[in-house]
Amino acid sequence: MKKLISVLLSVVMLISCFYGCSKQANTSKSDFILKYTLDSHYSTADEATLRSYEKFCSAVENGEPEVKISASMIDAVTQLFYTCFPLYPLVKSMAPLENGAGFSLTYTNDIDTHNALVAQFKNKISDIMNECSYGKVNVNEYIFNVYTYITQNFTLDNNASSTFDTIINSKGHYSYVNSAFEYLALQGGGRACHVVNYDGASTIISTVKFNDEWYFFDPAAEISDNSGKALKYFAMNNKDVKSIYSTDSFLYTDGQKIEKIKNDTYKELRNSTSFTADNSQVKVTISGKNDDFIINFK
């Protein structure tokens, strides 16, 4: 098990996925409930794995010293935990209980600091979701709001050590910024996945379902390119990705291939220079065109 966890931690440092599972946790410090969302690629996990994963996530969120799950489930659960749950950096180590009924958890910080960090993270998620009009707009408009919130309010910083830190501090490494986008999309009821390619320099971006279709998104590149003034990396297909990254060989974090994304509804956005959003409609200025490109939310 120690070897497995070591491998998973190495993968996490590269991909920093950052999700959870489908039920909600009890909280005592605020009215906000952090959903245990799951990267949409892993949504077919069996019910027993999901239940055990939920117990694991809940134990960590609440700083509990142990979690009662079957030893037979630990490989599947830790795979999801270290690639999918936001609070994984708060866990220092885990070890089997002597009675074989679960695992003891050792945390990176003392319990007071742990609880304070969890509360800080949850408050930041709640604040961003409110800023993005969660509950007041449909899921597609919410996803657009999350994308533009991140591109206009986050900055790139290679010193960030996790997506956890990136969300709290509104700055982080390229991959962590994209993970934050996915996680917030999932928290709001969207569907999102972390994807990576290994052709030359590794590139980590996102796939998100928007207006009934799957597309690639790269808010980190938007920040680097234009500080969120445009939508050049919003809702891309495989042709767009191949042109921008010189490859379209992206894989899910478990190595499985991604189905080709051919829809070119938003191809004009690659030449966008600015946009304005008002009354659930976005008007995008396209370089070399007199007419705005319009984004509506289904």
Q: What is the pLDDT of residue 20?
A: 37
Q: Are strands 66-67 and 103-107 parallel, antiparallel or unpaired?
A: antiparallel
Q: Is residue 21 pLDDT above 50, yes or no?
A: no
Q: Is residue 80 pLDDT above 90, yes or no?
A: no
For residue 19, name the pLDDT band (cuts at 50, 70, 90): very low
Could you tell me the CA-to-CA distances from 39 to 75, 194, 273, 285 in Å, in that order? Answer: 18, 7, 31, 33
Q: DSSP E strands: which ranges in the chain?
A: 66-67, 91-96, 103-107, 155-156, 171-172, 192-197, 203-210, 213-217, 251-252, 272-278, 281-286, 293-296
Six-digit token string for 82: 């270290």
Six-digit token string for 271: 């030449």
User: How much is the pTM?
Assistant: 0.88
Six-digit token string for 180: 């934050």
Tell me, rounded to whole angstroms, the distance of Cα 246 from its chain centroid.
24
List, for residues 190-215, the tens digit of each pLDDT value: 999 999 987 766 789 999 999 999 99
List, for residues 132-158, the tens digit of each pLDDT value: 999 999 999 999 999 999 999 999 998
Contact 180, 187 (CB under 8 A): no
CA nearest to 20, candidates 85, 78, 79:
85
Distance CA 189, CA 260 (A): 23
Contact 77, 69 (CB under 8 A): yes
Q: Is residue 220 pLDDT above 80, yes or no?
A: yes
For residue 239, name the pLDDT band (cuts at 50, 70, 90): very high
Distance CA 137, CA 259 (A): 29
Half-sphere exposure of 271 (CA within 13 A, CB side): 10
